[in-house]
Amino acid sequence: MKTLRIPRLSVWLLFFVIATNSMAQATFSLPKLPYANNALEPVISEQTMNLHYGKHLQGYITNLNKLIVGTAFEQADLISIVKQSDGAIFNNAGQTLNHNLYFLQFSATPKLVPTGVLFDRIIQQWGNFDSFKMEFENAGMGVFGSGWVWLAKTDNGELRIVKELNAGNPVTKNMEPLLGVDVWEHAYYLDYQNVRAKHLSELWKIIDWNVIEQRYGE
Amino acid sequence: MKFELPQLPYAKNALEPIISEKTLEFHYGKHHQAYVTNLNNLIPGTQFENADLETIIKESDGGIFNNAAQVWNHTFYFEQFSPNGDNEPTGALLDAINESFGSFDVFKSTFVTAGVTTFGSGWAWLVKNAQGKLEIVKESNAGNPMTKGLIPIFTFDVWEHAYYLDYQNRRPDHLAELWKIVDWKIVEKRF
Ligand SMILES: [Fe+2]
Ligand SMILES: [Fe+2]
């Protein structure tokens, strides 16, 4: 009789584990980075990574998890929330999505120039890779206040450079974000202070075009 | 009209440790200066070439508005601080604060909340409305309440450049500390 109780208990434990896991799926968590916090130096300092990834991104995720409880977005995926919400939920969801894309596009050993269909598309639209980079940097300089500059893909595979304010992401305009550069001052103030232009021109050294090509191909 | 960076009414290290000398070197010496330089570059050949700053703020948009308002906002911001601050409002301004907010402490916490909840870059403002009553207004980026017919009395800059070197991501701590250098004698004159 007693030996029968042991499997029953483990069945309950199994249910508990499954229940806990499915609950965990409804909350967002900080993505693991494929590099150390000091790996992007000197382009992005370890101190900036500690704050930007460890405090700002973590803060947006913590806020988002609190804000969606009891709303229509409680079980929604991140992109659906960004497309359908507004106000504080949009701000925190947008910033969670934006920073996830941002941090996961860098590498200490990046592929510095794209190849294949993405490279062909860039050449077709901008003539050469340097012209694209210059227009992208100029767009970043043209964002007044806090925001983002994106390379995005339209429905028919064309590329667009898109400026967004605050938490904006081109998914709300039915475009797929490929490359995102954060021009909030927190992204560069400790390392470059007021010189946003220098930060933007340095970032190419750590952008991994392997990642951007994968996003373009998706 | 050529605009100039106004002199700071105190030394660059005078507000330490609330605002560091390094922050003032950038915030006043680089950001404020850049807004002045940009504005002077943008207005030649436009209708604003000979206009005063308030007129430009009320009538322009785009790059001219952004730079003109940021020149005005920063001048107004830097002017209200003093190493001999940390006093409290008195007289008619105190009466108006009590009337609108109940007490000076409630005003301060409401004002800090307005600053903390401004998403992105911007300013929190204490303003006098058409009825002479005080209100708190949040503005994004270069926003200035005079474009809404309100009279600015006092402001906190919540652009990250105002506090990132000294407080990093801790905007609430920065705003709580700022009260120690506000000179209410200057603010009273504006009211
Ligand atoms: Fe950021
Ligand atoms: Fe500022």
Cα–Cα distance for residue pair A90/A77, rounded to 1 Å: 13
Check residue A3 and give its pLDDT.
43
Distance CA(B176)–CA(B113), nearest Å, equals 10
Beta strands in chain B (DSSP E): 122-128, 134-140, 151-157
pLDDT at A209 over 60: yes
Nearest to A146 among B121, B142, B168 (CB): B121
Is residue A180 in a domain?
yes
For residues A76 and A132, state if they share a domain.
Answer: no
Nearest to A186 among B30, B119, B160 (CB): B160
**Which B-chain residues 105-164 have CB contacts (< 8 A) with chain A?**
119-122, 140-142, 159-161, 164
Domain at A168, CATH number: 3.55.40.20
Question: In whole angstroms, what is the distance from residue A65 CA to residue A63 CA?
Answer: 6
Domain with residue A16: its CATH number is: 1.10.287.990
In chain B, CATH 3.55.40.20 sits at 91-190
- Select the CATH number that applies to the domain covering B91-190 from these four: 3.40.50.1820, 3.40.1710.10, 2.40.50.140, 3.55.40.20: 3.55.40.20
Do residue B164 and residue A184 have CB atoms under 8 angstroms apart? Answer: no
In a structure prediction context, what are the per-residue pLDDT tens digits for chain B, which is 191 residues long?
A: 699 999 999 999 999 999 999 999 999 999 999 999 999 999 999 999 999 999 999 999 999 999 999 999 999 999 999 998 778 999 999 999 999 999 999 999 999 999 999 999 999 999 999 999 999 999 999 999 999 999 999 999 999 999 999 999 999 999 999 999 999 999 999 99
Nearest-CA neighbor of B171 among B161, B190, B158? B158
Which residues are CB-contacts of A147 (< 8 A; sequence separation ≥ 6)?
A: A163, A164, A165, A166, A168, A183, A184, B120
CB-CB contact of A203 with A113 (8 Å): no
Q: Compare all CA atoms of chain B with the CA of A92 and give the residue at the minimum distance.
A: B119
The C-alpha atoms of residue B94 and residue B121 are separated, in whole angstroms, by 29
Please tell me the CATH superfamily of domain B21-79, with its number: Fe,Mn superoxide dismutase (SOD) domain (1.10.287.990)
Q: How many Å is the maximal CA-CA distance in chain B? A: 50
Q: What is the pTM of this model?
A: 0.92
> For chain A, what is the domain count?
2
The three-class DSSP label of residue A184 is coil
Q: How confident is the model at residue A14 (pLDDT cuts 50, 70, 90)?
A: very low
Cβ-based burial of A151 (10 A; exposed 0-12, middle 13-18, buried ≥19): buried
The answer to whether residue B62 neighbours chain A at the CB level (below 8 Å) is: no
Mean pLDDT, chain A, whole residue set: 91
Residue A27 lies in a domain: yes
pLDDT tens digit sequence for A155-199: 999 999 999 999 999 999 999 999 999 999 999 999 999 999 999
Q: What domain range is A207 assigned to?
A: 116-216
Residue B189: other Cβ atoms inside 10 A: 9
Q: Which helix (H) or strand (E) holds A11?
A: helix A2-25
Q: So what's the ipTM on this one?
A: 0.96
Shared domain for A91 and A131, answered yes or no, is no
Q: What is the pLDDT of residues A92-145, one digit of tens each?
A: 999 999 999 999 999 999 999 999 999 999 999 999 999 999 999 999 999 999
Minimal Cα–Cα distance from A5 to chain B, Å?
A: 53
Residue A23 has pLDDT above 80, yes or no: no
